[in-house]
DNA sequence: TCGCAGGCGTACCGTACGGTACGGTTCTAG
DNA sequence: CTAGAACCGTACCGTACGGTACGCCTGCGA
């Protein structure tokens, strides 16, 4: 399977999507339990079909991650009619989206899979996850930030730095702890605190980059 | 091998440490290449000895991680004679230590190993890494922060929140991108920027929590 | 009705690797 | 000098899993 630049829902037939769903379910249920035999049994198809469609195990894994990533379509935030209020609402929404995604079971599983993959000098899965996680957020957030600057609501020199600070303020140590399986961070526990964390992170972001703030 | 509460250098004989060094080297060179046969060959010992000393593959892995973690002894920062200047220097030192560690090849390898491990419902390695990484920093940073607050140099209500914000400001998206194998983040590239990042993160931390700052 | 493509299920193969067994060697204690 | 413990090297076993081959069934177009 060659490098696929863009994966849409139509890239796979419904039957293939059913197979990928089975693969993703297995992955979530039991991280490394993604054996070709298990997928074939779960999806009620033959292994031969799997190899015909996806080439090899890595191809199936890649297709699964790409397909799942294509499903995550974050809500577009309106850029027009920018006011202090709407800007803040947009930023909060980004923070909420980000936290909701990274604390989700599917995201944790895919990130773990990609990290494992990267430990074997194969970074393709990592790039896919990056591309559809942090980088996707960045692509959508940067224009908002720059619009905020144009409207004299934000102050910064590098929108890249502003974005990365935002990421840090929102994610903090939550993602790495979840990936490492920290039991002190029960998922429900995290989910319950998302709203408070969103507000705190947004407050801090405006404290650093708001028009009235003085940054170094 | 039962749960070892604390691992010191003396926990293992020199010969055993040589074995663990070999294991760590193999892990760094080639993430998943840690086979018992490879370790035995690299360390010039027999597999039987490995099993006698470490029980099974997981025991060897755990011992390797624990032993490496025990080697990382971060420099203690002086808490006495707290002034604005020394406090800032301490904070900067923490930021520098944190960034230096997480961008190191060994840290990346161990984190990847622990994440992979956590994907198999085995969180012991994850806890060890957490305990000796983020949590170790936290244990040492919190007293400094609280001393800074007592000296009216910092303002915050929860030192836990202050620590986590510090972590986010320093680490941002660097760690997850390194774990995912982002090629855009060459290690040398990151290393060259550490000083600038340290300064920026410290500035932002003081902007949020410095005595003169107004936080929400 | 016939032929055939697509696909299911299963049996099969090769290999890699965790774990064990065992003979041979070195070192130490008595 | 000898007995035994520790340990090295290697051969071996069992299993899990990636990948292939093949027989069978179903649906569909001619």
Rounded average pLDDT over A21-31:
94
Using CA atoms, how far apart are residues A148 and B127, in angstroms rounded to an integer?
41
Residue B180 and residue A119: Cβ atoms within 8 Å?
A: no
Using CA atoms, how far apart are residues B32 and A133, in angstroms rounded to an integer?
25
In a domain, B33, yes or no: yes
* Nucleotides in D strand less than 7 A from protein CB: 7-11, 16-22
Residues whose CB is less than 8 angstroms from the CB of residue A192 and which lie 6 or more positions away in sequence, other chains included: none
Q: For the domain that residue B29 is a member of, what is the CATH number? A: 1.10.10.60
- A169 and chain B in contact, CB less than 8 A: yes
Quote the mean pLDDT of chain B: 90
Rounded average pLDDT over B157-178:
97
Residue B213 has what pLDDT? Answer: 52
Rounded average pLDDT over A181-203:
92
- The 10 Å Cβ neighbour count of residue A108 is 21
B17: part of which helix (H) or strand (E)?
helix B14-29
| Residue to substitute from A181, A200, A214, interface B, most B β-carbons within 10 A | A181
Residues whose CB is less than 8 angstroms from the CB of residue B203 and which lie 6 or more positions away in sequence, other chains included: A215, A216
- For residues B123 and B28, state if they share a domain: no
Distance in angstroms, CA of A75 to C1' of C4?
A: 48
* Nucleotide of closest approach to A57 (CA, C1'): D18
Beta bridge partner(s), residue B154: B210
In a domain, B136, yes or no: yes
- For residues B115 and B65, state if they share a domain: no
Residue A215 has what pLDDT? Answer: 45
Residues of chain A above pLDDT 70, percent? 91
Structural domain ending residue among the three candidates A71, A92, A107: A71
Structural domain ending residue among the three candidates A50, A71, A92: A71
Residue A1 has what pLDDT? Answer: 41
- A216 contacts on B by Cβ (under 8 Å): 200, 203-204, 207
Domain count, chain A: 2
pLDDT in tens, A144-160: 999 999 999 999 999 99
| pLDDT band, residue A31 (cuts 50/70/90) | confident
| pLDDT band, residue A216 (cuts 50/70/90) | very low
In a domain, B215, yes or no: no
Rounded average pLDDT over B39-62:
96
- For residues A144 and A183, state if they share a domain: yes
The pair of structure tokens assigned to A122 is: 């194969």
CB B205 within 8 Å of CB B169:
yes
- For residues A104 and A40, state if they share a domain: no
Residues whose CB is less than 8 angstroms from the CB of residue B3 and which lie 6 or more positions away in sequence, other chains included: none
- For residues B179 and B98, state if they share a domain: yes
- For residues A164 and A95, state if they share a domain: yes
Residue ranges making up the domain that contains B195:
84-209
In a domain, B76, yes or no: no
- For residues B88 and B193, state if they share a domain: yes
Rounded average pLDDT over A74-95:
84
Residue closest to A179 by CA, chosen among B132, B161, B176, B210: B176
In a domain, A77, yes or no: no
- For residues A141 and A175, state if they share a domain: yes
- A192 and chain B in contact, CB less than 8 A: no
Residue A57 has what pLDDT? Answer: 96
In angstroms, the separation between the Cα of residue A113 and the nearest Cα of chain B is 7
Is the distance between the Cβ of A34 and the closest atom of strand D smaller than 7 Å? yes
Quote the mean pLDDT of chain A: 90
Residue B38 has what pLDDT? Answer: 96
Does B95 score more than 90 pLDDT?
yes
In a domain, B135, yes or no: yes
- For residues A41 and A67, state if they share a domain: yes
pLDDT in tens, B117-132: 999 988 899 999 999 9
| Residue to substitute from A133, A142, A176, A212, interface B, most B β-carbons within 10 A | A176
Rg (CA), chain B: 20
From the list A129, A165, A179, the residue facing B169 with the nearest CB is A165
Structural domain ending residue among the three candidates B71, B96, B125: B71
CB B59 within 8 Å of CB B3:
no
- For residues A65 and A135, state if they share a domain: no
Rounded average pLDDT over A9-22:
88
Residue A3 has what pLDDT? Answer: 45
- For residues A127 and A190, state if they share a domain: yes
Does B215 score more than 80 pLDDT?
no
- A135 and chain B in contact, CB less than 8 A: no
- The 10 Å Cβ neighbour count of residue B56 is 12
* Nucleotide of closest approach to B16 (CA, C1'): D7
Residue A11 has what pLDDT? Answer: 78
Residue B10 has what pLDDT? Answer: 65
In a domain, B110, yes or no: yes
Whole-Å CA distances, A215 to A85, B129, B138: 22, 34, 26
Q: For the domain that residue B147 is a member of, what is the CATH number? A: 1.10.357.10
- A92 and chain B in contact, CB less than 8 A: no
Q: Is the dihedral of CA A115, A121, A125, A128 positive or negative?
A: positive
In a domain, B14, yes or no: yes
Is the distance between the Cβ of A15 and the closest atom of strand C smaller than 7 Å? yes
Residue A179 and residue B31: Cβ atoms within 8 Å?
A: no
- For residues A101 and A45, state if they share a domain: no
């Amino acid at each position: 399977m060659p490098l696929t630049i863009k994966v849409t829902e139509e890239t796979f037939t419904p039957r293939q999507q059913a197979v990928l769903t089975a693969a993703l379910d297995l992955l979530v249920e039991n991280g490394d339990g993604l054996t070709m035999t298990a997928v074939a049994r779960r999806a009620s198809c033959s292994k031969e079909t799997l190899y015909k469609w996806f080439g090899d195990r890595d191809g199936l894994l890649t297709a699964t991650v790409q397909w799942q990533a294509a499903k995550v379509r974050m809500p577009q935030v309106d850029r027009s009619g920018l006011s202090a209020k709407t800007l803040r609402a947009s930023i909060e929404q980004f923070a909420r989206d980000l936290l909701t995604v990274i604390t989700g079971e599917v995201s944790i599983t895919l990130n773990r899979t990609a990290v494992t993959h990267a430990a074997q000098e194969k970074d393709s899965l990592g790039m896919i996850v990056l591309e559809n996680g942090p980088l996707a957020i960045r692509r959508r957030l940067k224009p908002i930030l720059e619009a905020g600057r144009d409207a004299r609501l934000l102050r910064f020199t590098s929108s890249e730095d502003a974005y990365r600070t935002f990421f840090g303020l929102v994610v903090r140590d939550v993602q790495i702890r979840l990936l490492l399986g920290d039991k002190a961070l029960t998922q429900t526990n995290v989910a319950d605190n998302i709203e408070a964390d969103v507000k705190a992170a947004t407050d801090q972001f405006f404290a650093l980059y708001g028009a009235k703030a003085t940054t170094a």
